[in-house]
Chain A
Amino acid sequence: MSTLPVLKPADFASDQDVRWCPGCGDYSILAQMKKVLPDLGFPREKTVFISGIGCSSRFPYYMNTYGMHSIHGRAPAFATGLKTTRPELMVWVITGDGDALSIGGNHFIHALRRNLDINIILFNNRIYGLTKGQYSPTSVEGQITKSTPMGSIDHPLSPLSVALAAEATFVARSIDAHVKHLGATLKRAAAHKGASLVEVYQNCNVFNDGAMAYAQERKQRADNVVELEHGKPLVFANGTKGIRLVGTHLEIVNTSDVPADDLLIHDEKDPNPSIHMMMARMSYPVMPEPIGVLRAVEGVPTYDDQINEQVTAATETKGAGDLDSLFTSGDTWTVD
C-alpha cells in the first residue's frame, strides 16, 4: 500500500530564481509559507496562489503549486471565480498595500464581505515598491516619496480597519521579521473556514527602509507591539504595561497601577467587531500596535458553500434539468 508523500518546504519551491531585492521582507514571508504549507494537509496540486501586481505579487512564481499572476488589484475577483467553482482547492491571495487598498479596494471589501473561504495575505510595506517609490494608501502622512516631494497629504488607511468594516471573519496581523509568529498566524489563517485576512508588516529596504522598525526590530518590538492571545489580557512592554477599555476608548495603563480585572481581555470570537475596530486603530507612536489574530469568528456560512448549496438544493427540488423538456415547455406550435 502506498502512502502519501510527506512534503517538505523544499517541495514547494518552484524552479524559478527568486528576484526580490536582497534584504526584502518578502523572502521571510516566502520561507514561512513554505514551512507552513506541508502541515496543512493539502497536496501541491490542490493549492493555488493568486496575486495581483506588485513586488508581493511575484510570489506565485516561486511556489511549486498552481498559480496566477493576474492584474492589479483584482486577485480576489479571480479567486472568487476559482473558489466558487472548485471549492475543494485551497486558494491563497497574495497582495500588497497598493494592490489591495488602492486599485483593489473594491474587490478586497467584497471578497471579505462575502466570506469566501480564501486566505488573503497583504504584504504591507507602506510604499509602491515595484514602480519605484510612490506613496501608497498606507503611507504615513507627510511621507516624502517620488510622487510626494512636499510630503503626502493623504491620511492612511488601516487594512485591518477596512477588513473589519467589511465584517471579515478572520483578521490578523504579523511581521516579516517575527518568523515564528508569522508562521503561526499563517497557519491559523489557513485553518479558518471563511475569508482570512493577514496583514504582514513587510520591510521594503530599498524604498521605505525601516518604516515599521518600531515593530520589526526585536529591541523595539516589546514596547510598541501588543501580542494578542484569545482569552488573555492585552499587555506589552514585558508585561509592565497593559490596555484598558474606558467607556468607548482604549488607554495605556501600568499593570502595577491597576487591578488585573481592569485590563481588556482579548476576545477574538466576539461577533461584534467594535472592540476589534478599536484595536485596529491602535497606532504607533500613540498606542502600541496589536499583532496576532484580532478576530476569528467561526461558523459563518461561506460564499462558496452557499453558492454550491443553492445548486444542490435546486437540483433536489426540481430534479436535474433537461434541456429538451425546457425547450418544448410553455407555448409551442407545430408546423407539418
Chain B
Amino acid sequence: MASLKTSKDVQSVSGITVRLAGDSGDGMQLLGTQLTNTSALAGNDVATFPDFPAEIRAPRGTRAGVSGFQVQFASEEIFTPGDTLDALVVMNPAAMVTNLDDLRHGGILIANEDGFNEKEFKLAKVDSNPLDANVLEETYRIIKVPMTKLTREAVSEFGLGTKIADRCKNFFAMGLVYWLFGRSLDPTLRFIQAKFSKKPEIAAANEAALRAGWAFGETTEAFGESYQVEAAELKPGIYRNIMGNQALAWGLIAASKVSSKDLFYGTYPITPASDILHELTKYKNYGVKTFQAEDEIAAVCSTIGAAFGGSMAVTASSGPGIALKAEGMGLGMILELPMIIINVQRGGPSTGLPTKTEQSDLLQGMYGRNGEAPLPILAPRSPADCFDIAVEAWRIAVECMVPVMILSDGYIANGSEPWKIPEMSGISPITVSHPEGTDEDEPFMPYARDEHLARPWAIPGTPGLMHRVGGLEKEAGSGNVSYDPDNHQHMTDMRAAKVAKIAQRIPQQDISGPATGDVLVVSWGGTYGACHTAVSRCRSDGHSVSHAHLRYLNPMPSNIGDLLRSFKKVIVAELNSGQLRLLLRAEHLVDCVGVNKVQGKPFTVTELVAAIEQQSNAVKSDSKLKAS
C-alpha cells in the first residue's frame, strides 16, 4: 500500500501535542494508541497520557463519562506528553467543556458537529451550543466536521446498521488527524486487518472510514495546510513503543530468565495494576504461573508460599491493596525471603481516584508495617524504565533475601514511550544458589548470614536442611523462636543493616546539570519527564539549577547528603503532600522546599518552571543582599 501524500502545503514543526476527547464509548483510547504507535513508527519521540473515568460506563454524554487521550510526538527528545495542547479533537459537548481550557490560544479545535445537539447539551449540562460561543473564533482555529454523517456515507456500501456504522466514526476522526499531522495510514490499516480479521465487513468499513477522514482533510477547504513532525534523533538501535505495565511484566519475565527461575505471580485485580496480570497470563510458555487470588491478602501470602518453595515470586496492587498486604509484607520481611511487591500508585487516600495518578504511597512503603520492618524501595521514572527496575528489584531481592518494593504509578503504567530493545544476552545474569542437601550430621542454620547479611535460601525438598520459619522473632543462626532481649535487638539491627548495606552496591545518584549551584530539584517516580524538561528550560533561561531524580528510594544512594548540601536551595517536587521531602529532611537535616500537587494529574512543565524560578530568584536576591 503506497503511503498517501498530501498535495497541500505542509508546515514542519518540532512537536505536536494532541488530545482526543469523547464519550467513554467513542474509542478515544484506541484512537490515541493508534496515533501514538504510528508516530513512534515514524521515528518521533512520543509520550502519552491517557485519562479515563473510573466507572466502566458512566452515563452517556455526561462530563463524568469523558475519556481522553493526550499524546505529544516530536522530532526531538521529549519527556512529557505536553503541558498545553496544540490540537484538541472533541466528539461531544461534554468533551469540549471539560478540555477546552487546556488548548493553547491559536490552537486547533476539531469538533464532530453531529455530536452537538440539544440532547447532548442536556447531558453535558450546558445551556447552549458551546461551539457557537463568540469568544471561540477569536481564540482558536475551529473546524466543525459532520463526522457522524460523513462516516455513515463512507460506510453505506457495507450495509451495516446505524449503530455499528457510527462506531466507525473514531476511525474517521483518526484519518482526519493523520492527514493533519502527516501520519501514515499503514500501521492502522494493518491493525484493522488484524483486529477485525474475523469480521471482514467491519474491517472494510473501518478502513473506509479511515480513508474518508484522510480524504476530508485533503479536499475540504476548512483545512489549508497540514503539519509534519520529522523523526527524532534517538540513540541507534531497534525500538518499539511500550507501556509501563507491559514493560514491568516483560522485565519480570526477563529477570526470571536471567536468574533461571520460574515466575509465580499472585495478585488480585485492581486499577491501575490489573494489566500486569493480563499481560503475564499470555506467557505460560515462558513458565509463568499467574494466580488470581481471592483477595489481596491471599495474593501476597501465595507469593510468600511460592518464594518459600524457591520460585521467583511477585505480587502487585495499588494503594488500597498494599494496605491490606501490610501484615503479609512484614512476614515476608521477617522470614527473609526474596520477592517483589509492586505498587502502581493511584490517587488516594482510601478508594481515592482509581484512574488518576499520584505518588502518595512512599511513606506507606517505608513505614506501613508494624514494628521495625524496612524494605528496599525502587521507583521507575518512565514507562520504559519499568523494565530495568523490575530486573534490578529481583537482583536485590535475591542478593539480600528480602521483599523489594517497586513504586510505579498510574501515569507511567498507562503511558507509553519508545523503548530501545535490549538483547537478553546483554542483561547480567542473577546468580541464585540454594544450599545443597546433607545427611544431617551438622545442624542447619537457616538464619546464618553471608557478606550481604543474607540468609541461605534452603528450599523444601532438600534433604537434611529441614527447618521451620515463622513470624515470631527468631534466634540468630538457628532460627528457633526466641524472645531473648539481646537477640531481638541483634535481629532488628541485622535486618536494618542488611537493607542499609545495599547502598554500597547501587550506583551513586546521578545529576542532570552541574554538581553545585543555586537550586537542586529532587524528584522520584513518574515526575521525571516534567522535572527534567522544566529544569532544562530554566537552565537555558540562565538559572543555576540542576536535577537529581531518585530511582532508589530505600536505601538512597550514599552521595545524596553531599548532593543536597552542594546547592543553596533544594526543591522536592512530588505528587503528594511532601513525603520524599520528609525523608530527606529527617535523614540529612537539609531544609528542602516542597513543590506539591495532589490533584490526580501530573505536573505541568509550566508550574514547575514557575516554582524553580521563584526559588532561583530568591537565592539570587539573597546573594545580592549578602554582597551589599
Contact = CB atoms under 8 A, between A and B. Distances in A.
Contacts of B463: 43, 45
Interface string A54-78: 0000001101111111110010011
Contacts of B181: none
Interface residues of B, number: 73
A64 B443 CA distance: 12
Contacts of B250: 323, 326-327
B62 interface: no
A70 B437 CA distance: 25
A107 B294 contact: yes
Interface string A192-228: 0000000000000000000000000000000000000
Contact of B468 (A66, A321, A334): A66
A84 B266 CA distance: 11
Contact of A84 (B234, B291, B298): B291
A261 interface: no
A219 to B, nearest CB: 39
A330 B246 CA distance: 14
Contact of A77 (B41, B298, B471): B298
Contacts of A43: 463
A95 interface: no
Interface in A72-97: 74, 77-86, 88-89
A307 B437 CA distance: 28
Which one of A82, A106, A313 has the greatest number of beta carbons of chain B within 10 Å? A82
Interface stretch (B302-310, B371-379, B534-542): B302-310
A206 B147 CA distance: 80
B149 interface: no
Interface in A123-138: none
B313 A81 contact: yes
A311 B290 CA distance: 10
Contacts of A77: 293, 297-299, 301-302, 305
A85 B337 CA distance: 15
Contacts of B235: 335
A331 B41 contact: yes
A46 B313 contact: no
B301 A68 contact: no
Nearest to A89: B460
Contacts of B297: 74, 77, 107
Interface string B26-58: 000000000001001111000000000000000
Contacts of A308: 289
Interface stretch (B400-408, B417-425, B522-530): B417-425
Contacts of B470: 60-61, 67-70
A81 B309 contact: yes
A25 B562 CA distance: 62
Given A81-B264, A311-B289, A333-B40, A46 B239 contact: no
Contact of B284 (A310, A332, A333): A310
B236 A307 contact: no
A238 interface: no
Interface in A295-321: 307-308, 310-311, 313-315, 317-321
B253 interface: yes
A253 to B, nearest CB: 42
Interface string A228-249: 0000000000000000000000
B120 interface: no
Nearest to B239: A333
B276 to A, nearest CB: 16
A324 interface: yes
A310 B262 CA distance: 14
Contacts of A321: 253, 283, 285-287
A81 B266 contact: yes
Interface string A31-48: 000000000000111101
B328 A65 contact: no
B265 to A, nearest CB: 10
A332 B286 contact: no
Interface string B124-144: 000000000000000000000
A94 to B, nearest CB: 12
Contacts of A311: 284-285, 287-289
Contacts of B335: 68
Contacts of B254: 323
A154 to B, nearest CB: 23
Nearest to A65: B466
A82 B327 CA distance: 19
Contacts of B352: none
Contact of B234 (A61, A107, A335): A335
A16 interface: yes
Contact of A78 (B291, B305, B423): B305
Nearest to A80: B302
Contacts of A314: 284-285
B607 interface: no
A147 interface: no
A336 B236 contact: yes
A289 to B, nearest CB: 30
Given A69-B471, A321-B283, A331-B240, A78 B461 contact: no
B461 A46 contact: yes
Interface in B468-511: 468-472, 480-481
Which one of A46, A78, A83, A313 has the greatest number of beta carbons of chain B within 10 Å? A78
Nearest to A45: B463
A239 to B, nearest CB: 45
Contacts of A3: none
A310 B281 CA distance: 11
Interface string A247-279: 000000000000000000000000000000000
B289 A307 contact: yes
Contacts of A328: 238, 240, 421
Contact of B461 (A50, A68, A84, A86): A86
Interface in B232-267: 233-241, 250, 253-254, 257, 262, 264, 266
B295 interface: yes
Contacts of A336: 236
Contact of A81 (B234, B304, B331, B461): B304
A192 to B, nearest CB: 21
Contacts of B306: 81-82, 84-85
Contact of A69 (B41, B231, B313, B469): B469
B298 A110 contact: yes
B25 interface: no
Interface in B334-366: 335
Contacts of A71: 301, 327-328, 331, 471
A61 B482 CA distance: 12
A67 B309 contact: no
A14 interface: yes
Contacts of B238: 328, 332-334
B311 interface: yes
B288 to A, nearest CB: 8
B539 to A, nearest CB: 26
A327 to B, nearest CB: 5
Interface in B419-434: 421-424
Given A77-B302, A78-B301, A80-B291, A323 B253 contact: yes
Contacts of A61: 468, 470, 481
A139 B493 CA distance: 43
B464 interface: yes
Interface of A: 14, 16, 43-46, 48-50, 60-61, 63-71, 74, 77-86, 88-89, 106-107, 109-110, 307-308, 310-311, 313-315, 317-321, 323-324, 326-328, 330-336
Given A88-B461, A310-B284, A315-B285, 4 more contacts: A45-B466, A69-B470, A85-B311, A315-B284
Q: Which 10 A-B pairs have the closest CB atoms?
A: A81-B305, A69-B470, A81-B302, A321-B286, A77-B301, A314-B284, A67-B468, A78-B305, A81-B306, A77-B298
9 contacts: A66-B468, A74-B301, A78-B301, A81-B309, A85-B305, A107-B298, A314-B284, A321-B286, A335-B239
